Amino acid sequence: ETGVTQSPTHLIKTRGQQVTLRCSSQSGHNTVSWYQQALGQGPQFIFQYYREEENGRGNFPPRFSGLQFPNYSSELNVNALELDDSALYLCASSQTGGWTDTQYFGPGTRLTVL
Amino acid sequence: KQEVTQIPAALSVPEGENLVLNCSFTDSAIYNLQWFRQDPGKGLTSLLLIQSSQREQTSGRLNASLDKSSGRSTLYIAASQPGDSATYLCAVRGSGAGSYQLTFGKGTKLSVIP
């Protein structure tokens, strides 16, 4: 069974640029969530995708957007990067999106905005 | 709005000691609570998931308890080892409108000294 994978591992961008982060969910999982973790903080929920539709969103501006593909992999896109966007971005998948499911996290993408 | 607090923020113990990490949450209307481990700069590893109807879960040297009515959970680690050194995060999944997201604490950074 393949776990959650994310790419790239590290990324450096400059303010104002756009970035795309990728996530492959664990085999058999149809729900993907994205989280932002600033240094020394707990992860903050960005949004969740279930069967290619966004079905929940946290307190993040519209320049944070996403996609889920038919194979349940997912992308997180961030436009007009700001310095405060520097963080570890974590992707998590679960089997059905049900509230009792365990969430399995990937290794994360470390984004640095200069 | 659900808030999760973890105390202490950091803990240093000698190898072999038993220890308890604490997690409290403000809204007792939750589906479940999950404990994670995070190594520096890495993703999250799920340790234990306790459903709201359960009182505790055990896995090896780890035991987590949940008192939903008082908004508290504890993670007990028996016979600590240097390999247990990591940051431990607890997260709750609320019921109602916020049920699609996990709300995290900031974590407890554990150092086990050989």
pLDDT tens sequence across A77-109? 999 999 999 999 999 998 876 666 788 899 999
Closest Cα in chain B to A94 = B100
The Cα A39–Cα A18 span in angstroms is 21
Instruction: Dig out the tokens for B26 from the structure.
Output: 């403000």
Measured between beta carbons, the chain A residues lying within 8 angstroms of B103 are 45
CA A11/CA A21 separation, integer angstroms: 9
- Give the closest residue to B21 by CA, choosing from B92, B67, B74: B74
Nearest CB to B106; choose among A42, A45, A110: A42
Q: How far is A79 from chain B (nearest CA, A)?
A: 23
Mean pLDDT score of chain B, rounded to an integer? 94
Question: Residue B112 above 80 pLDDT?
Answer: yes
pLDDT of amino acid B18: 97
The answer to whether B85 faces chain A, any CB pair under 8 Å, is no
For A3, the token pair is 């776990």
Cβ neighbours of B89 in A, within 8 Å: 42-43
Question: Which residues contact residue A5 at a Cβ distance below 8 angstroms, ignoring those fewer than 6 apart?
Answer: A23, A24, A106, A107
Phi-psi map region of A108: left, alpha, beta (phi>0 left; psi -120 to 50 alpha):
left
pLDDT exceeds cutoff 60 at A1: no
Distance from CA of B14 to the nearest CA of A (A): 24
Residue of A nearest to B39 (CA): A107
Q: Which residues of B33-53 are buried (b: 16+ CB within 10 A; e: fewer)?
A: bbbbbbeeebbbebbbbbebe
Q: With CA atoms as reference, report the closest residue to B25 among B58, B72, B85, B74.
A: B72
Inter-chain residue contact B43 with A108, CB threshold 8 Å: yes
Our CA-based measurement puts residue B90 at a distance from the nearest CA of chain A, in whole angstroms, of: 9
A11 burial class (0-12, 13-18, 19+ CB within 10 angstroms)?
A: middle
Convert the pLDDT of each residue in A25-55 to its tens digit.
988 888 999 999 999 999 999 999 988 899 8
Phi, psi of A64 (to 5 degrees): -95, 115
d(C-alpha B61, C-alpha B37), whole Å: 14
CA distance A45 to B102: 7
B10-52: pLDDT as tens digits: 999 999 999 999 999 999 999 999 999 999 888 999 999 999 9
